[in-house]
Amino acid sequence: MFQTDRARNYRQFGEEHTQLRKTVRDWCEKSLKPNAHEWEEARLFPREVFKQAADLGLLGIRMPEELGGLGLDWWYTVAYAEEMVHSTLAGLTMALLVQSDMATPVIHEIGDSYHHQNYLKPAIAGQAIAALGITEPDAGSDVAGIRTTARRDGDDYVINGSKTYITNGTRADFITLAARTGGTGHDGISLLMFPTDTKGFRVTRKLEKMGNHCSDTAEIAFEDCRIPAKNLLGNEGEGFYYVMQNFGGERLVGALTAIAGAQRMLDETIEWCQTRHAFGKNLMGFQTVRHQIVQLETELEAGRQLCYRTVQLVIDGDNAWREIAMCKLYCGEVATKVVDRCVQLYGGMGYMDECTVSRVFRDMRLITIGGGTSEIMREILTKLCL
């Protein structure tokens, strides 16, 4: 029972959510999945996929209609995130989610009409590719350690420094960029809208990754890059707090896709076990296999319910920092465990590169690292729970 069918059992979803799920799943299975091997081998998917996603309304689900969005709530984002796993391309899903749920929500929340018209609206329409520029060689989960600088010079900011592990980084049209405008530690970090056609900007290296091969990940550098001061997003010096707020949505959507991706893989593994025979019976005939599967189903359901509870808190406007950190920690750990067990149940076939579970295994490994490691989530939770 795949995610579209399973969602019928949850009261949060109605007919309109089902229609969105069907739209996303059909697109994934007809237009994306057939190209999975080719795009993974090419280490990149076509730029036109962003436009296709935009035409389906997927790049602005929660954005206002006047900016080209759908004006819907978080439950529609849940439907979108859960169904994207049917593309079997985690890298592509990640790239689109960076566009729709990581690099652009903060523009909507704290940007003005200039930012909305020149950056957010083109991103929602799929006319511009967005990236989020936070991580640096010496500052990953430790955002307060950012060293890239943005120095005010008259009506401009002059930017120097570097970023790494930037999804969409080789072909982004703009970057929602965190840079230090003064001060130390948490103080003095600001967010700026950075167009990548700015003189002095360059992609220094396209990075090769363990998984998520079809998405581009880059090291980028800024050398005396001059951008207008009006490209400052929100208030100068408050960027750290904007980034932390933005991390909430990133981590929640990451947890949702992790559970959905692991569930899809477990569903396929169940089908495999029902047809694969050993010692005169199919694998589901062995108690040890059945017990493993129901244990994994239970842990996935627990993760799903934790995510759904957290989504409702966000919709209600309640403080959900604790629950978001729990989602990121628990769902990431569970999803990687589930896919690992799926490889084991597939046996030798699961180790073959041609088998989908092999790709999902290496792709899923990122979920306990990106957007804040499991270790960082535990440290956050010690402050929120103890």
Q: Which residues are catalytic?
A: 250
**Pairing status of strand 201-206 against strand 217-228:** antiparallel
Residue corresponding to tokens 């979803």: 13
Nearest to 85 by CA among 41, 21, 42, 130: 21
Distance of CA 88 to the CA centre of its chain: 15
In angstroms, the CA 82 to CA 25 distance is 9
Q: Which residues of 88-123 are buried (b: 16+ CB within 10 A; e: fewer)?
A: bbbbbbbbbbbbbbbbbbbbbebbeeebbebbbbbb
What beta strand segments (E) does the chain contain?
A: 130-133, 149-153, 156-167, 174-180, 189-195, 201-206, 217-228, 232-233, 277-278, 281-282
CA angle 139, 145, 149 (to 5 degrees): 100
**Pairing status of strand 156-167 against strand 189-195:** unpaired
